[in-house]
Structure 1
């Protein structure tokens, strides 16, 4: 791949002050909507999510030795496991599961350092990963629709109160996101979620759904509601919580690898080789562990910010680091946290309908891009089992405190079926992705 003559800032170039601030703010806006949406959906602090996002990004840059300009924000893949973990044992249980998800990243990074990465791609080919991604999206569909339709979406089924006002606000939010994504150009096309949240919020104000009392009473400077182990809660180990989160972490590893490949093409560097997947995965894992220690959701590299890099052609890690510092600073502004908490559930429901659908559709796209042949019974069986077990909420209870359920069970069954069913390709199609990028350098 030839050197791009139009690069504005290369990876290790330091921008001037005006470039630094303006470009970092763009990255902040790109990640903001999605990063704060996850904690709002799982009832964690959005301020803590911003703090963990900023700290995680800075740690990632250090671990990858300033060679990967990647921003880390809240991961949507862990929404369902976080909700289940909180139901089992409160925020402490969710943080325990998040911690072990980060540990899995570290262990896989160690194995990749010793054995290379191809074993991982053979373990998690598209026929396993894509249906699990579909499960992640569709498994949350009921939650999104409930938020859009009801005044009290968290209430028992018999007590739910339907609201025409709520569904209209949700539909308007969806319309704004679709218009932004379809008709806007450049940077604004990359932040349809943020534009949708802002537009839906304004409509909600006129609809009388917004309570500003919390914003008025909030202080400008306020410590985020950090959740520290041994201080905020006493950690207790639970196999059930661990098994809710770990299988999802295994699947999100492939998302990380995909982002590294795309980012390599954008910045004209083979990031798979240098600093290597072991370094980038370790950085991602450390970011998740940091989130678990302060009460934030698991993090992941963000496609939105890769898009910003592609548009601006400013690849400097100093710009990404500046966005991390800004996110950390924003987390201490109490008015912002209160404003985020005042967003009506109808708006979040509309945004969620789009985002969860996109997650499911991205799984379908992976199947199409890898030309998965469903005339082959092997592929048909693996995908069928994953989809029905995952969306249907099947579970296996081993003891009173330990069970495998839903998405976790579906992911594990998919991996096992892929390993044991006959007719497995000798050279999995997903390896072509790495061959493609290796041949370009």
Structure 2
């Protein structure tokens, strides 16, 4: 990480990190980042049942906190994390809101502890704990475990119970998916950055013509209103559930690994070594503080967004002021009642259509990590680790000690990540010659 040659700038920026945009351009440049993050950021609360307005506000304030903690040196936008969708959905079915939000708060605290450990001892221990052969399959599990959710939303009127197959839903979902894929694959420039937004808009218009949109909630909503957020001791009673916390901790290690990958890409795009200044520890701590704040108002955990990194690469505008402007707009949108009502009125097949692509991309990105890292699957060791992670995660194996009087349950993705970490530590390294 100290090799400065890898951070040499290859393209001259239009606006560097500390450059201020012209006032006439500022709002437009920030709106680009807002569009890039919007589809994914609102999809997470849409799926989990958390308030959309709290997710927008958490995204905006979380990004501003990240900018503050990283000394306004890293142009990164933070949005809702997909890695926590399944644990939140399953957790809210079997635990109270207070249990879940405090567990998410503790996952943010875990980020901070990892950041402090990196500051004191470097990153070698983390790379030993989370090599690509562990992280890649876990990322695949994150995407594949969400596949039934996306498909059920695309088919059923009651997706939770898989009841009420509706051909209109399937048509809307497939049109939404097709438009998103076409924009992603064939459009150029700014439009290529917002395929999810264009896909959702197209699906929404089609749904309106087919009578699937209920406009009454939009008409009843006020233009300006206090956002729907969950405040501790007012809207929920915080409670400490060790089993739920232990479900989230392994996921934190995976998202931290993803964070490091994003940071490497930003380093290359901007041409600066952010691992050294302001430091990887500050970046991870900033992510953790953002997640802790989000949990306090009922929002999903945050993560740096690859979509916004793509905006940096295409526009060559790295200004922290532009990122901060996008965060401020996101906060304002959380106070516009008609806007949140509009988002809430999006039919489930529309979100199901884009989710088929988004969740598939998550799974494929895990496979891509294995390929790019040259993970050798002629090695039985690597084959065993990946196989166990995939089957435990996708099969949703549950480790439950309630029967022996201990309140502890770890399942699915979290158990898969934990199993992968343990196997990686205990299985001996072997060469091809020994097999």
TM range (shorter): over 0.9
Q: CA deviation at 1:90?
A: 3.5
Between the aligned partners of 1:344 and 1:110, the Cα distance in structure 2 is 43
CA distance in 1, matches of 2:64, 2:375: 38
CA distance in 2, matches of 1:8, 1:424: 49
The 5-angstrom pairing of residues 225-264 of structure 1 reads 225-264=228-267
Structure 1: gaps spanning 5 or more residues: 426-441
State the partner residue of 1:207. Answer: 210
Question: SS at 1:180's partner residue?
Answer: helix
Could you tell me how far apart the structure 2 residues matched to 1:424 and 1:248 are? 28
Aligned partner (choices 274, 277, 283) of residue 274 of structure 1: 277
Segment drifting more, 110-119 vs 6-15:
6-15
Match of residue 85 from structure 2: 79
Alignment of 1:121-132 (within 5 A): 121-132=127-138
2:60 aligned partner = 54
Deviations 1:10-59 (A, max 9, x none): 10111221221111111111111110011000011111100000000000
Alignment of 1:60-209 (within 5 A): 60-155=66-161, 157=162, 160-209=163-212
> Matches of 2:217 and 2:176 in 1, distance apart?
23
Corresponding residue SS for 2:409: strand
- How far 1:243 moved relative to its partner? 1.8
**Alpha-carbon displacement from aligned partner over 1:232-285 (angstroms, at most 9, x marks no partner):** 111111112112211111110010000000000111101111111100000000
Give the structure 2 partner of residue 432 of structure 1: none
Do the aligned partners of 1:38 and 1:75 also contact (CA within 8 Å) in 2? Answer: yes
User: Is the Cα–Cα contact under 8 Å of residues 9 and 268 in structure 2 kept in the other structure?
Assistant: no
Aligned-partner Cα distance in 1 for 2:101–2:196: 26
Is residue 85–residue 97 contact of structure 1 (8 Å, CA) maintained in 2? no
Question: What is residue 41 of structure 2 aligned with on the other side?
Answer: 35
CA distance, structure 2, for counterparts of residue 162 and residue 257 of structure 1 = 42
Please name the residue that 1:18 is paired with. 24
CA RMSD of aligned residues (A): 1.2
Alpha-carbon separation, structure 2, partners of 1:44 and 1:412: 27
Structure 2: 5+ residue stretches without partners: 1-6
In the superposition, the TM-score normalised over structure 2's length comes to 0.95
Report deviation, 1:93. Answer: 2.5
Distance 2:98 2:348 in 1: 24
Measured in 2, the distance between the counterparts of 1:421 and 1:277 equals 29
Note the alpha carbon deviations across 1:393-431, whole angstroms, 9 max, x for none: 111112253111111111001000000001169xxxxxx
Which deviates more from structure 2 when the two are superposed, residues 83-92 or residues 241-250? 83-92
Go from structure 1 to structure 2 and tell me whether the alpha carbon gap of 1:378 and 1:2 turns closer, same or farther (over 3 Å shift): closer
The answer as to 2:394 corresponding to 1:391 is: yes
For residues 124-164 of structure 1, the C-alpha deviation after alignment (integer angstroms, 9 at most, x for no partner) is 00000000011111111111111100111123x5xx11111
Q: Is the partner of 2:399 in helix, strand or coil?
A: strand
Contact 1:82–1:94 at 8 Å: present in 2 too? yes
Q: Secondary structure at the match of 1:151?
A: strand
Is it true that 1:284 corresponds to 2:287 in the alignment?
A: yes
Question: Which SS does the other structure have where 2:157 is aligned?
Answer: coil
Does residue 45 of the first structure (1) align with residue 51 of the second (2)?
yes
TM-score by length of 1: 0.94
Note the alpha carbon deviations across 1:281-305, whole angstroms, 9 max, x for none.
0000000000000000000000111
Shift of 1:309: 0.9
Helix, strand or coil at the partner of 1:211: coil
Alpha-carbon offset, residue 5 of structure 1: 6.0
Per-residue deviation, 1:344:
0.3
Give a deviation string over 1:330-360, Cα, whole Å, max 9, x none: 1100001000110001111111111111110
Distance 1:70 1:95 in 2: 25
